[in-house]
Amino acid sequence: MDAAQPIVSDREDEFERAEYAQTIAKFLVLGEDEPSIAIGLEAPWGEGKTSCINLVQHFLLSHPDNPLIVKYNPWLISSLDGVIEGFFLELAAAVGADSTGDDAKELAKNLLSFSQMLAPIKLIPGVEPWGTMVDKVLRALADANEATSKLTEGDLSLQRRREKLESSIKSFSRPIVIIIDDIDRIPPRDIQIVFQMLKAVCDFERVSYLLAYDPKPVREALSYGNTVDGGKYLEKIIQANHPLPRLSFIHKKDFFYKHVRIILDKHDITLDHYDEYWLNAYADRTDLIYLIETPRDIIRLSNRLKISAPRTKGEVSFIDLLAFEVIELKIPGLGAMIRKEPDRFVGREGIVREFMTTYSLRSSQNSDHSRKTPEVERILSELGLPDREKEIAKSILCLLFPKICGPIVMNYGSDPEPSINCIQNSHALLKLLHCGLASCAFSKRAATRFLSSPNERNHIAKEQRQAGELEEWVSYLESVASDAVIESPQELCSFWIKQVSVRSGWSTSSRWLAPTIASHLCKLLKFVENKETRLSMLNAITTSKASFSASAATLLELLDAHKLVKDGSFIKYANSINSEALPDEVKRLGFSFDDLIRVKDTWLESIRTFTETGGDLLLSEESPLFVLLQWAKYDENGGDAPFAYVERMSRDPVWAKKYVLNFNPRTDTAIFQNLMGRPDDCPKHIKSEFLDRIIESLNAASDCDSHLTWVSEIREADIEDKL
């Protein structure tokens, strides 16, 4: 069923209206001498009036009295004058085409004769059946020339021709049922003519009428200022007006699901666990089905999805797309707001160029107000929706965009985690608003290609780096990696470590890229099933000298997850660890204590080799202090090795100055002292010489006063400690 093809038989009836239509059909078939009756089938546009009419006609065709069925569509008439003529022409055509007896021919002739006196026929040129109808009628009567001459015979009395027509109708052997649909589609003046015609000239015995219309525009058209009430006027013409049976929630929901499944099957869209869950949840926990008022709404929604679903397949949650299309269809003002100010619904999430609207600037200046009132309340208030529509919109928005709903978010405790394709994530929303892939949004297709095709990685990462979005890209990959095939995971680990050290123009690696990549690498370990592969991945990470910032952060996260780091120090003995108390996702990695010791020692060997062969951590690392601290944490001698490296490198005044400027004098005193070796074992004169060199290098500079004062105070404290 679609908007252009209503159902035609009871086998297609999905809203349980067949028995209702059968009752109307029986009522419309009049016996001999029964006066004319008009039944009004009332319902708003799109609720299925035409389908119900077709059901009535279906039952009329099987009625034992074999009624003559005439369907008249006044909206095909091109002018006011043609409305009445068109009606009689349609009736005459039906009589002439459906019967061959003399009574039928006489009735058809009298119908045309009567209509000829009412007004000139004015029809839409070229629109069937009007273009050839007159010819068909005349051929049914006999020879065209003879019939035409007969139509011009007789007197010109309208009353006598009406009486002659009535007599012909009585002599006709079959009851006549006239169906007039879409009355509410024609202009108000034509609506008046149709009802005046039925009242004044079409009140014939054994002729019944079934009229379908939306009562609101019809009543308005029949009203004349303050003098005539259209509703009262309608009551004089319609003997039985009846609303179309109500569409139940269950019927709409089933019809809705049916068309959703048609879209999914046609475009080969497979719902993931999240979408399958929310397909039912949206119907049961929001008012989405109530927002869809008519079957026509569902058809229109289906037609929209035929365009947007294949364009966003695999990139945007189908259920979120479905809910958004309902919003655009039924609350277009809200849909327009989402398109115009997307940052109001998902936040900017770093995509400044796409989501930097005037609202972003306003909200940053009114943060207190933002905290007091949930954003959803302000959005709905600005739209000025009616209360009922506002509640419906809120229930849908709070599932689509939970960030805007504050404490009113509906959380049932067992909801699955939203996927990266949900439009509460900025990239998915961008792809929805662009109706497909766009250069301004990450692509799941590209992410899958990145993970499964090693030769694609460098090109894709370069594009994201040049766009200044490499960190976001790493985070985006995590949501795809669990379902993707990761080809050459060891090479992928080495690739990411190298990315931290890459510098290209303005998009120099951020100081946050290393921990972001470290977190990503730890997650990748969980997505690889084979333990030996996981160990080889760790080996690739810890042996790489491209970025100790990234490898140290990965090692720290891994050891911390296994409870091997406590109070900033590495725990050396396995018997102090309760492996059963570890989270399940950590236990599933299958790493033993000895495995982790070897990983840690491999990393220590890598950094020792790097520094002993002339490597400069200040030059190579984005976070050299973090690397030195981790080195000190895992060093078997309590930090002697990193201090020996710093002490040796600080003999270069330029290096010494650069080293000290990495510290914040207000917060990093303890860190600075921790990197000076064990206080009891490190010779005092080495520390003193080290501090003196630092002070000397700062004295030679002109822009290091605060650091000079800070190190001098540490030096004084060291002297006092000696005394």
Is 260 a member of any domain? yes
Distance CA 548, CA 630 (A): 10
One domain for residues 229 and 205: yes
**131 pLDDT higher than 60:** no
**66 pLDDT higher than 70:** yes
Secondary structure of 493-546 in HEC code, one letter for each residue: HHHHHHHHHCCCCCCCCCCCHHHHHHHHHHHHHHHCCCHHHHHHHHHHHHHCCC
Neighbours of 471 (CB within 10 A): 19
Distance CA 698, CA 711 (A): 9
**What residues form DSSP beta bridges with 327?**
none
One domain for residues 619 and 639: no
- How many domains, in total, are found in the chain? 4
Distance from first CA to last CA of the chain, Å, rounded? 96
| pLDDT at res. 264 | 94
One domain for residues 503 and 416: no
Residues in contact with 547: Cβ distance below 8 Å, sequence separation at least 6, in sequence order: 497, 498, 500, 501, 514, 620, 621, 622
One domain for residues 625 and 647: no
**What residues form DSSP beta bridges with 423?**
none
Is 472 a member of any domain? no
Is 451 a member of any domain? no
Question: Lowest-pLDDT range, 105-119, 479-493, 612-626?
Answer: 105-119
One domain for residues 63 and 181: yes
Question: Lowest-pLDDT range, 89-98, 560-569, 691-700?
Answer: 89-98
How many helices (DSSP H) and strands (DSSP E) are in the chain? 39, 7
**How large is the average pLDDT for residues 652-663?**
91
What does the longest C-alpha to C-alpha distance in the chain come to?
141
One domain for residues 107 and 192: yes
| pLDDT at res. 346 | 86
Average confidence score pLDDT of the chain? 82
**What residues form DSSP beta bridges with 5?**
2
**How large is the average pLDDT for residues 16-25?**
94
Is 265 a member of any domain? yes
* Paired sense of beta strands 176-180 and 565-566, if any: unpaired
Of residues 286 and 40, more confidently modeled = 40
**Token pair listed for 22:** 């059968």
Helix (H, G, I), strand (E, B) or coil at 248: coil
Is 444 a member of any domain? no
Which CATH number is 197's domain given? 3.40.50.300
Question: Lowest-pLDDT range, 117-126, 225-234, 434-443, 673-682?
Answer: 117-126
One domain for residues 84 and 187: yes
| pLDDT at res. 26 | 95
**78 pLDDT higher than 70:** no
One domain for residues 404 and 495: no
Domain final residue pick, 243, 277, 306: 243
Crossing angle of the two packed helices 273-285 and 318-330, in degrees rounded to 10: 30
Q: Is 589 exposed, middle or buried (0-12, 13-18, 19+ CB in 10 A)?
A: buried
Neighbours of 573 (CB within 10 A): 7
- Percent of the chain with pLDDT strictly greater than 70: 80
Domain final residue pick, 612, 630, 648: 630
| pTM for the structure as a whole | 0.73
**pLDDT digits 0-9 by tens, 190-226:** 888 888 888 766 788 899 999 999 999 999 999 987 7
One domain for residues 227 and 292: no
How far is C-alpha 330 from the chain's CA centre? 15
Given pLDDT bands bounded at 50, 70 and 90, which one contains residue 267?
Answer: very high
**Token pair listed for 359:** 């609202």
Given pLDDT bands bounded at 50, 70 and 90, which one contains residue 584?
Answer: confident
Angle (CA) 282-285-290 rounded to 5° is 75
Distance CA 189, CA 212 (A): 17
| pLDDT at res. 83 | 67
One domain for residues 597 and 658: no
**How large is the average pLDDT for residues 585-591?**
89
Is 143 a member of any domain? yes
Is 295 a member of any domain? yes
**250 pLDDT higher than 60:** yes
Nearest C-alpha neighbor of 663 from the set 716, 619, 693, 618:
618
One domain for residues 82 and 22: yes
| pLDDT at res. 362 | 53
Is 235 a member of any domain? yes
One domain for residues 334 and 232: no
Q: Which helix (H) or strand (E) holds 685?
A: helix 684-699
Could you tell me the residue range of the domain that residue 715 belongs to?
635-723
Domain final residue pick, 630, 661, 690: 630
